[in-house]
Amino acid sequence: MGTEQRENLDAILRQSVFPAGADVSGQRRLLRELTSVQPLPADVTVTAATLGGVRTAEITIDGIEPSHVVLYLHGGVYVLGDAFLAADLASQVGRRTGANVISELELETAGAVTLTVCDVVDWPVVAA
């Protein structure tokens, strides 16, 4: 990244709609408002569910007869967002693989996620 690109990125980040002093719940509200501007495709449905005692979002796409399910584990942490806000990306995975998608929701400890890949290894397999 060149100096000019870095300066432009720095300027963009400093103009953030997330006030630096805002609490997490206020920032979450702002994030939801921002993401609601770009709705999910009309053929995507997101339903709250649970899997192995963990709250999840089940993402289905109309017209896809899934023969399998993808367990989508967000690669980072949900500090502000959650599986519902990430449903568009998860639905793209489902669309490309012809699958329903189960996306985990956050398990919070002081605002950080504690769910890891190791936590889901022992989740029960549910036959469709």
Residue with more model confidence, 79 or 103: 103
Do 79 and 32 fall within a single domain?
Answer: no
Range of the domain at 24: 1-38
pTM for the model: 0.65
pLDDT recorded at residue 46: 94
Whether the CB-CB separation of 72 and 93 falls below 8 Å is answered with yes
| Cα–Cα distance for residue pair 32/76, rounded to 1 Å | 18
End-to-end Cα distance, the chain: 48
pLDDT in tens, 17-64: 666 677 777 777 777 787 777 788 999 999 998 877 777 889 999 999
Residue 100 backbone phi and psi in degrees, to 5 = -75, 160
Range name among 10-14, 31-35, 97-101, 122-126 with the lowest pLDDT average: 122-126
Do 23 and 66 fall within a single domain?
Answer: no
Residues of the chain with pLDDT > 90: what percent?
Answer: 20
Do 20 and 60 fall within a single domain?
Answer: no
12: burial class by Cβ within 10 Å (0-12, 13-18, 19+)? exposed
Residue with more model confidence, 56 or 101: 101
